[in-house]
Structure 1
Amino acid sequence: MNAQLQNASVQQSPIEKSRTVYHILFIIGLVHLLNDTIQAVVPAMFPILAKSLGFNFTQLGMIAFAVNMTASLMQPVVGVFSDKHPMPKLLPIGLSFSLVGMLGLALAPSYGVILLSVMLLGIGSATFHPEASKVAHMASGNRKGFGQSVFQVGGNAGQSLAPLITALVLVPLGQKGAIWFTFVAFLAVLILIYISKWYGKQLLVEQTLKKHDSKKAVPVGKAIKIAFLLLVFLVFVRQFYHAAITNYFAFHLIDKFGLGIDEAQFYIFLFLAAGAVGTFLGGPIADKIGMKNVLFYSMALAAPLCIMLPYAGKVFSMVLLTAIGFILLCSFSVSVVYAHQLLPGKVGMVSGMIIGLSFGLGAIGSIALGWLGDQIGISTTLLYASFLPLIGVLTAWLPNEKKIKELHQENK
């Protein structure tokens, strides 16, 4: 009887390789949007904090460092642990940390309390991303590229709301306007309670499937390890430049063209919104030309545009930011799927490294850029940062999908 039930579970499994569970996929993408909208409040507050509390660029860089490094250091750890011990309940618990952090950020009376609050936001992000990425991986079925694009575009769309948050909420309401985003966090917690129940059921079915699957884990060879480390470095470079634009380019626009905070934030919105579109289309483009090609061209084609940006006028800056955002972020979801191919079966750890650690390393760039901006001026700093995408030429040394399969076969 038990054998019959197990066989039935295998036959009726909602995580069959051929099936995509669209409603779960789009719901987890929506929650990713809500989570990253909450995270986006932090850089959105930078112009407000600089004006109202007199923070310099170094202090703002430390705030960005605190939230991103907390998230990045914890994400790989959470990912590795959850690969061995999946924790569906961690999804709503993690967003509860974000809720408390957002409340603290809105009411923080001092720099120290702001740092503590954004660290709570970082903890919430660290506990959300690895498990949520596994939910997206499960729900994707055999459409892994599409599934990862849906999941990641939710996050990028949330990040793109930061400039609108500044213009529509924080400029008129100030720091305390952030309290409205505690309701966003509460909504995300409620949705994740439902997702965690679905996730828990799928884990039971997956355990049954594993009992019927005689495949052994593929050992990881030296070439694969080198490729993975190179990928992490390239994602770090991309995020370093991304941090330069999202955290500091508004100050460049204000200084150079005399724009207001809300006007300057519109430029950042164009960059992030175009990046969200690029994130979604990156997967389908990779299906046609290959993941390695998307990773290479997203940096190679963006590099000359990035170098032109510091010299552009008001109107041309809009055009360049839109183009750079789209091209550069085409590789966002692709880099995650590519990493999953390099290290199959380690979804949590891979997501923690690519989405978490490399982003946190980019946060180190925020401090470096902030300090340099205080020393030589933010416009000059951004001029130097514009050469970062040229490092993307190193993508040529990554193996393509066919070579990855060959490397895994050699290690069996």
Structure 2
Amino acid sequence: MRKVVSTLTTAAARTAVLRTGTVYAILFAISSVHLLNDTMQAVVSALFPVFKDSLHLTYGQMGWIAFTLNMTSSVMQPIVGYFSDKRPMPWMLPAGMGMSLLGMAGLAYAPGFIYVLLSVVFVGLGSAVFHPEGSRVVYFASGGRRGLAQSIYQVGGNTGSSLAPLMTIFIFLPLGQPGAIWGTLLAAAAIAVLLRVVPWYKTQLNEHGKPAKKGRAAAAAPSAAPATRSVILFAMSVLVIMVFARSWYMSGISNFYNFFAEEKYGLSVKAAQVPIFLFMAAGVLGTFFGGVLADRIGRKRMIVSSIGGAAPFALLLPHLALGWVYPVSFVLGFILMSGFSVSVVYAQELIPNNVGMASGLITGFAFGMGALGAIVLGHAAEAWGLDKVMNYTSILPLLGLLAVLLPPDRRAAS
């Protein structure tokens, strides 16, 4: 009897969450922290042209740096999410930013490759701690508009990532490696914002309860037919492969396309950052509009449209004349990233009683596996040349077409 009452209480609590409406102040606050967090991660790749000269790093070593960052920030996410699903810990939000602050300080003064790796570990762990709890804040603040809420949250992160080329041009090329010390201000600003978000988050946990135990998902969403374990496993496997391919491709663009542009088109270090910025800035817009559109047409349709529409542009990019690189980079970034936040929401709706773990798998583990691409591409560039590497990576988005095999999402089925 107690179990039945507990289930009904949880269902009522989650219904109350939907009725409170979308809390935009909290969504924009947590999105701004996401921006600051991902900007700190972007500092690492923005420093690559500087590290190449100041520390005399090879493409392979830069691949290992990107790998270390992505592995620590990503693979740890589903682990943190698994435990925080059982016991949410709001204090982890500012604690994670504190770890990133230490990492930023270390990058500014790292005297060699090993010290850079150690600093990157702190930045990565801070991000791994932040993302699962941040996703749960978004869950409470969404008011039922999950696609829109996740898009607002993800726009912050993608905006931070898109700043890497601008930081290279305006900060690190003029100031060199010590310019990374400015990253500590990003961490401090994030902590200040989180000190306002954490009390609200604690109130939501107290009023609406902690994540549902097994068997409560149907009570939380009675209109949706519960997915079987085999369907969930298959769908999550397809999502992980899809995000893996997309993140591996983006690793090639964000970490090595600037060097490719320098070689192929004879661009300067600064000019070679422009196509990357256009790609990432367009991705910010695509993330937002993709989430809004997914609330109307369904998650699966948006995911398939994103991947299917991006593949032709990815195949074209390495072969274009310089004048076409800029518009194609923009269109490619917009379409490719329009399905990113939607993938997260789709995963969360597959396993609604494990929101943190679902978020960690899609934004964390899959990206961490994609980080292997940074190492492979770095060493492949040394062995075969960047021209061949960019051609080979352009095929990767085609793997995303596996999304057509995904089962219908809850919104489309209802």
Same fold by TM-score, threshold 0.5 exceeded? yes
**Partner of residue 300, structure 1:** 308
Map 1:262-277 to 2 at 5 A. 262-277=270-285
**Deviations 1:327-378 (CA, angstroms, capped at 9, x unpaired):** 0000011000111111112110011111110111111111111110110011
- Large movers: runs of 4+ above 3 Å: 13-18, 208-211, 213-220, 402-406
> Is the Cα contact below 8 Å between 1:340 and 1:347 reproduced in 2?
yes
Does 1:137 pair with 2:139? yes
C-alpha displacement of 1:220? 4.5
Question: Which of residues 158, 161, 164 is equivalent to 2:160?
Answer: 158
**Inter-partner Cα distance in structure 2 for 1:383 and 1:200:** 49
C-alpha displacement of 1:89? 0.2
Paired letter, 1:369: L
Does 1:173 pair with 2:181? no
**Partner of residue 221, structure 1:** 229
Does 1:55 pair with 2:36? no
Length, aligned pairs only: 397
Question: Which of residues 82, 101, 104 is equivalent to 1:102?
Answer: 104
**Deviations 1:156-195 (CA, angstroms, capped at 9, x unpaired):** 0010111000000001001111111111111101111221
Question: Which of residues 244, 255, 258 is equivalent to 2:252?
Answer: 244
> Is the Cα contact below 8 Å between 1:341 and 1:404 reproduced in 2?
no
**Deviations 1:35-77 (CA, angstroms, capped at 9, x unpaired):** 1011100111111111222211110000000011011221111
**Partner of residue 187, structure 1:** 189
Map 1:16-35 to 2 at 5 A. 16-35=18-37
Does 1:312 pair with 2:314? no
Distance change >3 Å, CA 215–CA 298, structure 1 → 2:
closer
C-alpha displacement of 1:207? 2.3
**Inter-partner Cα distance in structure 2 for 1:221 and 1:82:** 22
**Partner of residue 353, structure 1:** 361
**Partner of residue 4, structure 1:** none
**Inter-partner Cα distance in structure 2 for 1:312 and 1:210:** 51
Does 1:111 pair with 2:113? yes
C-alpha displacement of 1:304? 1.2
Distance change >3 Å, CA 311–CA 16, structure 1 → 2:
closer
**Inter-partner Cα distance in structure 1 for 2:208 and 2:202:** 10
Structure 2 residue runs of 5 or longer lacking an equivalent are 1-8, 221-225
Question: TM-score, normalised on structure 2?
Answer: 0.91
**Inter-partner Cα distance in structure 1 for 2:130 and 2:86:** 16
Distance change >3 Å, CA 331–CA 94, structure 1 → 2:
same
Report the RMSD for the aligned CA atoms in angstroms. 2.2
> Is the Cα contact below 8 Å between 2:87 and 2:210 reproduced in 1?
no
Question: Which of residues 373, 389, 393 is equivalent to 1:365?
Answer: 373
SS, match of residue 55 in structure 1 = coil
**Inter-partner Cα distance in structure 2 for 1:307 and 1:79:** 35
C-alpha displacement of 1:319? 1.0
Distance change >3 Å, CA 177–CA 208, structure 1 → 2:
closer
Paired letter, 2:351: L
Distance change >3 Å, CA 318–CA 63, structure 1 → 2:
same
**Inter-partner Cα distance in structure 1 for 2:127 and 2:392:** 30
> Is the Cα contact below 8 Å between 1:300 and 1:392 reproduced in 2?
yes
Question: Which of residues 125, 135, 138 is equivalent to 2:127?
Answer: 125
SS, match of residue 270 in structure 2 = helix
> Is the Cα contact below 8 Å between 2:235 and 2:406 reproduced in 1?
yes
Segment of structure 1 superposing worse, 218-227 or 45-54: 218-227
Distance change >3 Å, CA 277–CA 191, structure 1 → 2:
same
**Inter-partner Cα distance in structure 1 for 2:396 and 2:210:** 47
Question: Which of residues 310, 332, 352 is equivalent to 1:344?
Answer: 352
C-alpha displacement of 1:14? 7.7
C-alpha displacement of 1:242? 0.8
**Inter-partner Cα distance in structure 2 for 1:390 and 1:208:** 39
> Is the Cα contact below 8 Å between 1:298 and 1:328 reproduced in 2?
yes
**Deviations 1:121-180 (CA, angstroms, capped at 9, x unpaired):** 000000000000100111011111110000001000010111000000001001111111
Distance change >3 Å, CA 151–CA 208, structure 1 → 2:
closer
Does 1:278 pair with 2:286? yes
SS, match of residue 19 in structure 1 = coil
Paired letter, 1:188: A
**Partner of residue 326, structure 1:** 334
C-alpha displacement of 1:208? 8.9
Paired letter, 2:322: K
How high is the sequence identity, in percent, across the aligned residues?
47
**Inter-partner Cα distance in structure 2 for 1:187 and 1:28:** 12
SS, match of residue 381 in structure 1 = helix
Question: TM-score, normalised on structure 1?
Answer: 0.92
Does 1:258 pair with 2:266? yes
Distance change >3 Å, CA 64–CA 210, structure 1 → 2:
closer
**Deviations 1:231-279 (CA, angstroms, capped at 9, x unpaired):** 1110111111111101100000111122111111121110000000000
**Inter-partner Cα distance in structure 2 for 1:343 and 1:16:** 18
Distance change >3 Å, CA 215–CA 300, structure 1 → 2:
closer
Distance change >3 Å, CA 82–CA 158, structure 1 → 2:
same
Distance change >3 Å, CA 131–CA 250, structure 1 → 2:
same
Structure 1 residue runs of 5 or longer lacking an equivalent are 1-6, 407-412
